[in-house]
């Protein structure tokens, strides 16, 4: 059992920020061996206490162990191992080739400097992953960190808070717990980067606060992510994968399928296949299934129930039951939903309700997707590459997953982030390292060749100017030659062959 979550006293927040800044200035986090040690500790924090994390996540939202493993525990452990394996290459100076003839002899490198003191504001739906994965990136890049855990997933926040000082160097990495007041107090301080995960309303508050100090931000937000099915799709496979993308953590995932676009001609087939999947997975009474999560709080139950009950269109063809006290909302399918239903299709659902919208032509479906702000992810289910490419060409989204749901987020070799309203910046693996790094350009010159360098100095003469032109501006002929490299090569070979032939004759 974990202790209750207690909030950090407001009057101590300034001290925490001050202290980790002092530690950053001490240079302790510059050392790669030291960073690796901290990453090993972070790995052990999760590994040694896996069972306790499962218990805390179960208490917070009845998260099934398999989902807690793949959505919370595994990503943190895998990310720590990735950085342990790759930190040396990520952190080493990157050599760069000079573009200007003037710098052909110089040493040019990009040094991977830490940004400084980073504020990470976590979210409740994946409270382990969304706090500790960015933390791993910030540690790897050499920053000190203030970590603000989500106050909504209290049991997990309490557990991380209890374990943190046993594993991590709390001189450099500190947790601040609390809600709006504590976060607001934190945001009044100067950080060198703020990494926020949550909704776009708070995202704007974070960005406004950051702008006062010109602090860069990463905003991991949400939105209405559609799944578009084309007529050729194998409907049972599609139904399985969409059900996975909708009911994983009871729909409380930023990349959940928010609504589905089905060809009018195939809607009955989709509904039948979807019902079959849900019954196979959760039985006739999903409330009794050990594999179905609960909504995190009564506030969110009321919000989702309000969307369902006050909808302006659609028929509930599966589910619809709600037990407020048990924070249970059944896996629910609503057909005949109008795209312009301002209740069901207004905000992100973030719960287990799936509206089905039909379309006549692919162009209509694309038009509907483009009426909303660019989503965090776009799901396309099609066996025809041409159709998939058409959808991708005329839409925008943070990411895309073709013929599956969620798995693109689990693959950390891909950057993860939104675009426009769904977020700013991205992370995971090398992109996390980059998000928390300042690329410092370093040019190192020798104190010789002054006779050449003086073409830059006054008194300016026409001879110096023409030399300067040659040294600083690529000649258009070089660009032309490079772009015609292949045809020129082919022409030269032809001429040589012709010469050999003529000589023999």
Which residues are known catalytic residues?
Answer: 220, 254
134 touches ligand NAD by CB under 6 A:
no
Q: How far apart are CA 34 and CA 279, in angstroms?
A: 51
Compute the least distance from the CB of residue 46 to ligand NAD, in Å: 19
| Contact status, residue 356 vs residue 193, Cβ threshold 8 Å | no
Nearer to ligand NAD, 109 or 202 (CB): 202
If binding means CB under 6 A, how many residues of this protein chain bind ligand NAD?
A: 27
- Scanning 49-57, 99-107, 179-187, 335-343 for contacts with ligand NAD by CB under 6 A, the matching segment is 179-187
What are the CA-CA distances from residue 198 to residues 32, 141, 257, 358, 423 (Å)? 31, 23, 17, 30, 10
Strand partners, 315: 335
DSSP 8-state class, residue 7: P
217 touches ligand NAD by CB under 6 A:
no
Q: How far apart are CA 352 and CA 287, in angstroms?
A: 13
Q: How far apart are CA 382 and CA 403, in angstroms?
A: 7
Residue span 397-436 as binding mask against ligand NAD, x where in contact by CB under 6 A, dash where not: --------------------------x-------------
222 touches ligand NAD by CB under 6 A:
yes
Compute the least distance from the CB of residue 252 to ligand NAD, in Å: 8
Nearer to ligand NAD, 259 or 270 (CB): 259
- By CB under 6 A, the residues from 323 to 352 that bind ligand NAD are 348, 350
Position closest to ligand NAD via CB? 222
Compute the least distance from the CB of residue 186 to ligand NAD, in Å: 8
184 touches ligand NAD by CB under 6 A:
yes
CA 504 to chain centroid: 66
* Helix, strand, coil share (%) of the chain residues, nearest 5: 50, 15, 35
Q: Which of 220, 238, 311, 388 binds ligand NAD (CB under 6 A)?
A: 220
Q: Computed from CA positions of residues 22, 26, 32, 33, in that sequence, does the dihedral angle turn out positive or negative?
A: negative
Long-range contacts of 182-186 (CB under 8 A, 24+ apart): 182/7, 182/8, 182/10, 182/13, 182/148, 183/121, 183/148, 185/10, 185/13, 186/13, 186/17, 186/119, 186/121, 186/146, 186/148
Compute the least distance from the CB of residue 286 to ligand NAD, in Å: 23
Compute the least distance from the CB of residue 271 to ligand NAD, in Å: 26
395 touches ligand NAD by CB under 6 A:
no
**Tokens (6 digits) for 463:** 């001879």
| Contact status, residue 313 vs residue 336, Cβ threshold 8 Å | yes
Nearer to ligand NAD, 199 or 237 (CB): 199
**Span between the terminal Cα atoms of the chain, in Å:** 95
Compute the least distance from the CB of residue 122 to ligand NAD, in Å: 6
- By CB under 6 A, the residues from 358 to 387 that bind ligand NAD are 376
- Scanning 10-18, 37-45, 191-199, 262-270 for contacts with ligand NAD by CB under 6 A, the matching segment is 191-199
Q: Which of 179, 208, 481, 496 binds ligand NAD (CB under 6 A)?
A: 179
Q: Which of 61, 91, 242, 254 binds ligand NAD (CB under 6 A)?
A: 254
Compute the least distance from the CB of residue 415 to ligand NAD, in Å: 12
Q: Which of 10, 32, 205, 318 binds ligand NAD (CB under 6 A)?
A: 205
| Contact status, residue 143 vs residue 118, Cβ threshold 8 Å | yes
- Element at 432 (helix H, strand E): helix 430-435
Compute the least distance from the CB of residue 256 to ligand NAD, in Å: 8
Which of 108, 103, 28 minimizes the C-alpha distance to 440?
Answer: 108
- Scanning 1-9, 147-155, 269-277, 318-326 for contacts with ligand NAD by CB under 6 A, the matching segment is 147-155
- By CB under 6 A, the residues from 102 to 121 that bind ligand NAD are 121
DSSP character string of 201-254? HHHHHHHHHHHTTT--EEEE-----EEEE-TTS-HHHHHHHHHHHHHGGGG-ST
124 touches ligand NAD by CB under 6 A:
yes
Nearer to ligand NAD, 180 or 488 (CB): 180
- Element at 91 (helix H, strand E): helix 74-91
Q: How far apart are CA 397 and CA 417, in angstroms?
A: 9
Count the neighbouring beta carbons within 10 Å of the beta carbon of residue 249. Answer: 25
What does the binding site for ligand NAD look like in residue numbers (CB under 6 A)?
121-125, 130, 148, 150-152, 179-180, 183-184, 197-199, 202, 205, 220-222, 254, 348, 350, 376, 423
């Amino acid at each position: 059992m974990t202790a209750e979550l207690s909030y950090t006293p407001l009057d101590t927040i300034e001290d925490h920020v001050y202290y980790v800044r002092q530690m950053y200035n001490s240079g302790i986090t510059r050392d790669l061996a030291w960073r690796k040690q901290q990453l090993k500790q972070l790995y052990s924090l999760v590994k040694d206490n896996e069972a306790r994390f499962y218990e805390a996540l179960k208490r917070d939202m009845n998260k099934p162990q398999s989902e807690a493993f793949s959505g919370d525990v595994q990503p943190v452990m895998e990310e720590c191992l990735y950085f342990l394996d790759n930190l040396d290459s990520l952190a080493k100076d990157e050599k760069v080739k000079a573009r200007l003839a003037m710098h052909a002899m110089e040493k040019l490198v990009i040094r991977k400097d830490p940004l400084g003191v980073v504020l990470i504001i976590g979210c409740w739906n994946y409270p382990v992953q969304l706090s500790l994965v960015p933390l791993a990136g910030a540690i790897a890049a050499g920053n000190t960190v203030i970590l603000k855990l989500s106050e909504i997933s209290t049991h997990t926040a309490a557990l991380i808070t209890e374990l943190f000082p046993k594993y991590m160097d709390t001189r450099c990495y500190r947790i601040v717990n609390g809600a709006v007041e504590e976060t607001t107090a934190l945001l009044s301080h100067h950080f060198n980067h703020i990494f926020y995960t949550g909704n776009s309303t708070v995202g704007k508050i974070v960005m406004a606060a950051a702008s006062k100090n010109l602090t860069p931000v990463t905003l991991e937000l949400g939105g209405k992510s559609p799944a578009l099915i084309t007529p050729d799709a194998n409907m049972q496979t599609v139904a399985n994968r969409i059900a996975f993308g909708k009911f994983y953590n009871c729909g409380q995932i930023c990349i959940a399928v928010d609504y589905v676009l089905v060809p009018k001609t195939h809607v009955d087939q989709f509904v039948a296949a979807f019902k079959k999947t849900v019954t196979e997975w959760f039985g006739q009474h999903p409330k009794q299934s050990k594999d179905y999560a609960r909504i995190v709080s009564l506030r969110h139950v009321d919000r989702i129930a309000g969307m369902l009950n006050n909808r302006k269109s659609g028929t509930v063809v599966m589910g619809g039951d709600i037990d407020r006290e048990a924070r249970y909302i059944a896996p629910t399918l609503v057909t005949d939903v109008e795209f312009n239903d301002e209740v069901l299709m207004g905000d992100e659902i973030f719960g287990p309700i799936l509206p089905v919208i039909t379309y006549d032509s692919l162009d209509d479906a694309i038009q509907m997707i483009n009426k909303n702000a660019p989503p965090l992810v776009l799901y396309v289910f099609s066996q025809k590459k041409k159709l998939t490419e058409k959808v991708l060409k005329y839409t925008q989204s943070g990411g895309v997953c073709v013929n599956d749901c969620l798995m693109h987020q689990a693959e950390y070799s891909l950057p993860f982030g939104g675009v426009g309203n769904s977020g700013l910046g991205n992370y995971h693996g090398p992109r996390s390292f980059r998000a928390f790094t300042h690329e410092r350009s370093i040019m190192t010159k020798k104190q010789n060749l002054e006779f050449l360098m003086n073409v830059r100095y006054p008194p300016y003469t026409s001879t110096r100017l023409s030399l300067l032109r040659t040294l600083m501006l690529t000649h258009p002929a070089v660009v032309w030659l490079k772009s015609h490299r292949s045809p020129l090569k082919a022409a030269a070979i032809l001429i040589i062959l012709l010469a050999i032939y003529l000589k023999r004759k």
